[in-house]
Amino acid sequence: MDDLLLYLAALAMIYLMPGPDMILLLQTGARQGRRRALATALGLAMARACHVTLAAVGLASLFKVLPWTFEVVKFAGAGYLLWLGIRMFKAVSHGALPDQPANSPPGQGLAAMRRGLLTNILNPKALLFCSVLLPQFIQPALGPVLGQFALLGAILVTVGAMFDVTYVIAGGWLGRRLEQSAIAQKVQGRLFGTVLIGFALRLAWAQ
């Protein structure tokens, strides 16, 4: 029980730290509404499940054996975050609000889910996090290791989804507060765009 509480506390601290996932959810909730933001959260959950699976099969060790694979994934993820940040700036600069729910064409939910999936799955640090954290709570004496890994992974994805829904709600609340002020929307768009670009640069420098 103590180990489980410690594991939950570790997950909570990670999910409370500002990161590209959180910013993407807040921005999507504020600009596109909760439905699109929930689709983004689904994409994030899928990516986390993939990271847990890859960690279980030991793929993270590939980064140690072939360091260039880490660099490839890292720069792909940084490039994607940079593209998202620049896209936010462009939308603000053109004075457009193309992502408002009322004007969004069908299929935007799928696009939102894809943004969440790519934002997380192209972050090699997320895979390394799973590979480092989960084995610390595996106890072979308690039963099959694979089963414990699956349980810890399910908890990781579930707790992450709970935090994501909280950020979705916060983003929707923010959007309603800003919808009456074009200036506030521009400031919010530029701020979130700047933060995403900052995360892109930080990821590009990650070792």
- Token code pair at residue 116: 């969440």
pLDDT average, residue stretch 142-153: 85
Interatomic CA distance for residues 73 and 17, integer angstroms: 22
Task: Tell me the residue ranges of DSSP E strands in 153-200.
Answer: none
Residue 11: the pLDDT is 92
Sign of CA dihedral 14, 50, 199, 42: negative
- Token code pair at residue 166: 């909280």
Q: Map residue 100 onto helix, strand or coil.
A: coil
Above 70 in pLDDT, residue 92?
Answer: no
Q: Map residue 179 onto helix, strand or coil.
A: coil
Span 11-49, pLDDT tens digits:
999 899 888 999 999 989 988 888 999 999 999 999 999
Interatomic CA distance for residues 144 and 28, integer angstroms: 40
Angle between helices 2-16 and 145-178 (to 10 degrees): 40
Span 127-146, pLDDT tens digits:
888 888 888 888 877 778 78
pTM of the full structure? 0.81
pLDDT average, residue stretch 122-128: 86
Nearest to 32 by CA among 172, 166, 133: 172
- Token code pair at residue 105: 């064409």
Span 42-72, pLDDT tens digits:
999 999 999 999 888 877 677 777 778 788 8
Q: Could you tell me which residue, 63 or 82, shows the higher pLDDT?
A: 82
Residue 138: the pLDDT is 81
Residue 122 sits at φ, ψ, to 5 deg, of -90, 10
Interatomic CA distance for residues 170 and 26, integer angstroms: 7
Of the listed ranges 83-97, 105-119, 168-182, the one predicted with least confidence: 83-97
Kindly state the DSSP code that residue 95 receives in the 8-state scheme: T
Interatomic CA distance for residues 200 and 25, integer angstroms: 16
Above 60 in pLDDT, residue 202?
Answer: yes
CA 62 to chain centre: 23
Residue 60: the pLDDT is 66
